[in-house]
Amino acid sequence: MEVRRNNSANSSGGINKRDASEMMTMTMSDANATVGDDRRRRVPPPPLSRRQRGNLNTLLSRRSPFSNETGSLPVGEFDPSDASTPGGGSLRDAKILVVGAGGLGCEILKDLAMCEGVFGDVVVVDLDTIDVTNLNRQFLFRSKDVGQSKAVVAAKFINERCPWMNVVPYHGKIQDKDATFYRQFRVVISGLDNVEARRWLNGMINNLVEFDDDGDPIPETIIPLIDGGTEGFSGQSRLILPRITSCFECSLDSFAPSAAVPLCTIAETPRIPEHCIAYAYVLQWPREFPDRKLDADSPGDMKWVYERALERAEKFGIDGVTYMLTLGVVKNIIPAVASTNAIISAVCVNEAMKVLSFCSQSLNTCMFVCSAVFQFSIKYTISRILCAHPSPSPL
């Protein structure tokens, strides 16, 4: 009777150990089931296959509400039927010229190759050879390639890694090629790092345009020029349609003037490492080699400048003269940032695809990117100033 009273008391006023254990087991089971359900709900879906995901051919074979003719710079009318064949039809047959195989040029070649066979016929031109200082950002090169042609090594790397690509290299100056060479291309993508070469290329492409009897440009002779440039954390990409949009000459005033150092400071009172380097190649080199011009691409010449600059820096108690700084001062090199090159090259290749296929609205006419403090980009139009009429010859 006592036991029953206690049991009844427990049942009415409390919970015994066995009931508590059973309730705890049930609670944990329910909790585990709930967690299991949550985990099952959180499992991401399996990745889509390549067929389900599609590629650029999928984009080029469908109509778009944002085709080229709907933009502020209409170049042509998008026809998806032109992209019905593998490789994008006319895109696959388009011959593209890439000028420069440096930090920006390597990224441009990579982006063209990663379009999964949409582009195939590419020519790359570059004068430079590979230096050990290039290896930190120009990823198509390896230590064994130092001293070899950038264009040759870059083309070989892309062709071996991406068999659908046919990249033909030319090692030399762009000025060595005549108008016939440039007429064979459907679009030119420039990754040059100096203003003078960009001005010359701009003049050549503009002078390839022919005019009809009414003075209007003949569309078949217009070769779009896509100009990309980077400077540290800043960069710009620009679409130039010769004789239609503004050209490179129209925006020369937007470039900051180079900072000049008085010659008396270099010769008498150097204060920073750059003054010592400038003294070596501006004053000492002409005295030592009056009959020979300094070759900034020659390792021997640059080593001589570095050693003379180092001697002068030690004389005046100035620290910081290095070989890399010597290259930067003599060649007027701005330190390159890999992420900036990646952004600008992607924009350049994107514009090339749009201007060749008309699948989307073309850039009108310039895009500027800055990521020094925080990343932002702006698009703006540059007015025509100097390219309204044909000039007699390339600059």
Indicate if 264 belongs to the active site: yes
What's the pLDDT tens digit per position in 145-174? Answer: 999 999 999 999 999 999 999 999 999 999
What's the pLDDT tens digit per position in 105-129? Answer: 999 999 999 987 788 899 999 999 9
Span of 23-27, 61-65, 272-276 with lowest mean pLDDT: 23-27
Which entry of 247, 264, 366, 370 is annotated as an active-site residue?
Answer: 264
Average pLDDT over residues 253-275: 78
What's the pLDDT tens digit per position in 195-239? Answer: 889 999 999 999 999 999 999 999 999 999 999 999 888 899 999
Residue 56 to residue 115: CA distance in whole angstroms? 7
Assigned architecture for domain 66-256+335-380: 3-Layer(aba) Sandwich (3.40)
pLDDT higher for 169 or 91? 169
Span of 18-32, 99-113, 137-151, 350-364 with lowest mean pLDDT: 18-32
Q: What is the pLDDT of residue 334?
A: 65
Q: What is the pTM of this model?
A: 0.73
263-331 topology per CATH:
Arc Repressor Mutant, subunit A (1.10.10)
Residue 330 to residue 56: CA distance in whole angstroms? 43
Checking if the pLDDT of 306 tops 80, the result is yes
Checking if the pLDDT of 4 tops 60, the result is no
